[in-house]
Structure 1
Amino acid sequence: MSIQAKREQRSALAKETRALMDANTGDNWGAEQQTKYDGLVAQIDRLDGEIDRDQKLLDIEAKQKHSTRTRAERDGISDDEAESRILDDKSIFRAWVAGGVENLTAEQREIVAKRREEMRNTMSTTTGSEGGYLVPREFSANLLEALKDYGGMRSVAQVIRTETGAAMDWPTTNATSEEGEIVGENVEVGSEDATFGTLAHVVYKFSSKDITVPFELLQDSAIDIEAHINQRLTERLGRITNRMFTTGTGTNQPHGVVTGAAAGKVGATGKATSVGWEDLVDLEHSVDPAYRRSGNCSLMFHDNTLRELKKLKDTEGRPIWLPGVDVSEPATLIGMRYTINQDMPTMAANAKSILYGDFSRYIIRDVMQVMLFRMADSAYTRKGQVGFLAFMRSGGRLMDVGGALKYYQNSAT
């Protein structure tokens, strides 16, 4: 079945689910309707998994085409020449990965030297004798792009990229309480200056920890070694950065979004591991309507929390979770979109387990230079391995002083 056919089938199931709920209000919702609802949701979940896998394959092809076009525009060359240069870069990178700088042919060395001179280190992520400069720019860009697949923060936050990691002062202001006035004839108007401030945005150095690759894997031409290393780097860097962007303390690490959010709703006694439908309503309305009208507001929580939320019912006994009718339309809880983030605290005593608000006010900043080093000293050679180590610089902080993001906190007992 094609991905389009799966999407159409999913859309039909979602519409059937919504129609079921619309047609069964009040006392009409019973065990029969709940059983049918559960069956429809199970089918939708299965199709979502299949569509997601199919879409990833299509995305890979689209990214390759986009990378070629971007390279062509950047270097002022044709798409064919850009594709040829990308293939050259991959070939050089693989040769370096397999055997270090000494493994490059004279032609490959000449290409590296020419690229560095013509395009101001186009292939460079760092200048080093061990070959850090052999890392193609596309490798770094693709790694940063792939980080969105890990955790959830990058999918909703605002992500910017800078060439350097110099500290930035981000301007802030809170205009939610400002208003105009009525004035009489010939009466002087009042004044109310906006209060501006700044928050420091700092980047931190993250390490992938060393990644070991056996000689046999490096020598196997059938293995896409670049993809293998990229995947492992992405997993490690994606997990640590997402955790820091979620719960980082702000002391020698990024300010996490949970750390920066304000209190929106604290559960009543007895809700140390639960949340009620009315708590979500209170959380939603704890955020100023000025933010809610932006269309950027959504929920964020751990998948275990979603499991419990799916069990909640509205005042008429119907589930509050609804599937999106279209694949691009997200599922909702009482009409609110949500993001799953496995680094969010699970529901426990005093846990800030649910966030709601405008996540675009959280700014993630990546420094474009990703450094990759190849290590082939005796510590690795004795084990028949080569080591690889990547560094990236990134930071994150909630750049808001008006309460754009609020949290639900479980009760103490």
Structure 2
Amino acid sequence: MPSLQALREKHNHFVNQANDVLAKKGDQVWNKDDQTKFDGFMDEADLTKSQIAAYKRNQEESSEANFDDLDQFKKDKKGISDAARSVDIFMRKSFKEQSNEEALLIRNTMSTTTGSQGGYTVQAEVASTFIDTLKEFGFMRREASQITTSSGNDFSYPTTDGTGETGEWVAQNASATDQDVNFGTVGLNVFKASSKVVAIPIELLQDSLLDIQALVFNRMVTRIGRVSNTAYTVGTGAGQPQGFVGVSSVAKIGTTGQTLTINYDDLIDMLDGLDVAYQENGVRSCWMFNQTTRKVLRKLKDTAGRPIWIPSYDTGITGRSADQLAGYDVCINNDMAVPAANAKSLAFGQFNNYLIRDALDVSLFRFDDSAYMKKAQVGFLGWARTGGNLLDTNAIKLYQHSAT
């Protein structure tokens, strides 16, 4: 089986070949052979990228099942804070195994949620680390704005839309006209997200060199990050964050017969459907869609038959740059809908207008019951509170496929 590095080099080779085809043709009209060659390179690049993703997923699953690679979780324990040490003790030892000193440290640094069930709210120091790690996860978190509050109390966030406002010309000695700024609000409440139970073999808890907090938290962040990204994208706002798809307006509906397709003219209409104020204010505007939609969009041509998809070197591997579609960056979010009748599969705009709110209320539960002990495991369950909403519904526009 090829190494990960070999797969990356293979991917880069095909992307460079595709870019060479684009560069050599320049402004010339494309013929069938040009298109076949370009599509061949891009198909190979996509296949290799899928192999890279499968390779990484296999490594992750193997690590979760066997925990063979412990080096990434080991660290020097010198200078560890009381807050982190209390979490470490809580994870490694049941209540019966804790010394009086250890039990006192846990009680002094962690607040009880449901003590009889082994539940505690972790300290702000540890919660901040959890939230900071969560901020690095998920497609929406890479583009959206984010705030963290010390508690999870409900509140509304102020909004304002100035795209319809303009100044005026005033004659000499004449008075300027008043124009009040209109403010609104959107709900930015937080909701509870569960990591599901993470089962850890007892042997790992007994390994003093293992950073058990990092091991468990990494799993929790991955799971909570994934379910959160889905809600930030298509959430209903009832018991979960409000996704941007549910409140953004549709800029273009495909003509009859476009239940699975998008054409070049649709993209132009999408670009013109977004107010120019959101495209030329120094903030990045980008496209957002899933990998299935990418297969459709990558083969679109302009009126001269040239591809409007520009692949980037190392995209998706080092993160240095993004592919571009019609001159704007591409963001892949697999929680967007796949092409289908009435589906909203494509979004364009400034996603920093979506605001994610995290609360420092991070709870941790430990399960020592027989369901886990008979497998020589201990279970851990994490709860985090997060919310999100689109502050300016004019900042993102959607494409909707035809009904038939």
Q: Considering the TM-score relative to the shorter chain, is it more than 0.5? A: yes
Q: Do 2:39 and 2:299's aligned partners in 1 also have CA atoms closer than 8 Å?
A: no
Residue 408 of structure 1 aligns with which residue? 399
Taking structure 2 as the reference length, the TM-score comes to: 0.79
Residue 308 of structure 2 aligns with which residue? 320
Q: Deviations over 1:117-175 (max 9, x none)?
A: xxxx4xx4756646655957665444434435654111111111111111222111111
Q: Deviations over 1:333-388 (max 9, x none)?
A: 11111211111111100011111111001011011231111122345445544322
Residue 212 of structure 1 aligns with which residue? 199
Moved more, 286-295 or 89-98: 89-98
Q: Do 2:192 and 2:386's aligned partners in 1 also have CA atoms closer than 8 Å?
A: yes
Following TM superposition, by how much is the alpha carbon of 1:231 offset from its aligned partner in structure 2, in angstroms? 3.3
- How many Å separate the matches in 1 of 2:375 and 2:193? 26
Following TM superposition, by how much is the alpha carbon of 1:183 offset from its aligned partner in structure 2, in angstroms? 2.6
Residue 67 of structure 2 aligns with which residue? none
Q: Do 2:18 and 2:41's aligned partners in 1 also have CA atoms closer than 8 Å?
A: no
- How many Å separate the matches in 2 of 1:6 and 1:95? 41
Q: Deviations over 1:274-331 (max 9, x none)?
A: 1112211211221111111133211111111111111212222222221235752211
Q: Are residue 284 (structure 1) and residue 284 (structure 2) matched?
A: no
- How many Å separate the matches in 1 of 2:154 and 2:370? 39
- How many Å separate the matches in 2 of 1:147 and 1:38? 38
Q: Are residue 259 (structure 1) and residue 241 (structure 2) matched?
A: no
Q: Do 1:14 and 1:44's aligned partners in 2 also have CA atoms closer than 8 Å?
A: no
Residue 153 of structure 2 aligns with which residue? 166
RMSD: 3.9
Q: Do 2:30 and 2:306's aligned partners in 1 also have CA atoms closer than 8 Å?
A: no
Residue 384 of structure 2 aligns with which residue? 392
Give the helix-richer structure, 1 or 2.
1
- How many Å separate the matches in 2 of 1:190 and 1:329? 46
Residue 72 of structure 1 aligns with which residue? none
Q: Which amino acid aligns with 2:330?
A: Y
- How many Å separate the matches in 1 of 2:113 and 2:78? 24
Q: Do 1:125 and 1:137's aligned partners in 2 also have CA atoms closer than 8 Å?
A: no
1:135-150 to structure 2, matched below 5 A, reads: 135=122, 140-148=127-135, 150=137
Residue 307 of structure 1 aligns with which residue? 295
Q: Are residue 102 (structure 1) and residue 104 (structure 2) matched?
A: no
Q: Deviations over 1:229-256 (max 9, x none)?
A: 2233123212221111111112232211
Taking structure 1 as the reference length, the TM-score comes to: 0.78
Q: Secondary structure at the match of 2:80?
A: helix
Q: Do 2:244 and 2:354's aligned partners in 1 also have CA atoms closer than 8 Å?
A: yes
Q: Do 1:264 and 1:406's aligned partners in 2 also have CA atoms closer than 8 Å?
A: yes
Q: Provide structure 2 residue ranges, at least 5 long, that are not aligned to the other structure.
A: 57-71
- How many Å separate the matches in 1 of 2:241 and 2:187? 11
Residue 63 of structure 2 aligns with which residue? none
The 3 A distance-change label for structure 1 pair 134 and 97 is farther
Moved more, 207-216 or 162-171: 207-216
Q: Do 1:135 and 1:372's aligned partners in 2 also have CA atoms closer than 8 Å?
A: yes
1:171-210 to structure 2, matched below 5 A, reads: 171-210=158-197
- How many Å separate the matches in 1 of 2:350 and 2:239? 25
- How many Å separate the matches in 2 of 1:162 and 1:14? 43
The 3 A distance-change label for structure 1 pair 267 and 375 is same
Q: Which amino acid aligns with 2:362?
A: V
Following TM superposition, by how much is the alpha carbon of 1:45 offset from its aligned partner in structure 2, in angstroms? 7.8
1:234 aligned residue (221, 229, 238): 221
- How many Å separate the matches in 2 of 1:272 and 1:47? 27
Q: Do 1:157 and 1:362's aligned partners in 2 also have CA atoms closer than 8 Å?
A: yes
% of aligned pairs identical? 36
1:6-405 to structure 2, matched below 5 A, reads: 17-24=18-25, 25-32=27-34, 34-35=36-37, 38-39=40-41, 42=44, 46=48, 84-86=78-80, 93-105=87-99, 108=102, 116=108, 121=109, 124=110, 129=115, 132=119, 135=122, 140-148=127-135, 150-219=137-206, 225-294=212-281, 295-324=283-312, 328-382=320-374, 384-401=376-393, 403-405=394-396
Q: Deviations over 1:66-125 (max 9, x none)?
A: xx9xxxxxxxxxxx9xx7233876665444323323333566456657xx4xxxx4xx47
Q: Do 2:309 and 2:325's aligned partners in 1 also have CA atoms closer than 8 Å?
A: yes
Q: Which amino acid aligns with 1:212?
A: A
Q: Do 1:302 and 1:346's aligned partners in 2 also have CA atoms closer than 8 Å?
A: yes
Residue 75 of structure 1 aligns with which residue? none
- How many Å separate the matches in 1 of 2:95 and 2:121? 9
Q: Which amino acid aligns with 2:298?
A: K
How many aligned residue pairs are there?
381
Q: Do 1:13 and 1:44's aligned partners in 2 also have CA atoms closer than 8 Å?
A: no
Q: Provide structure 1 residue ranges, at least 5 long, that are not aligned to the other structure.
A: 54-62, 69-79
Q: Secondary structure at the match of 1:387?
A: strand
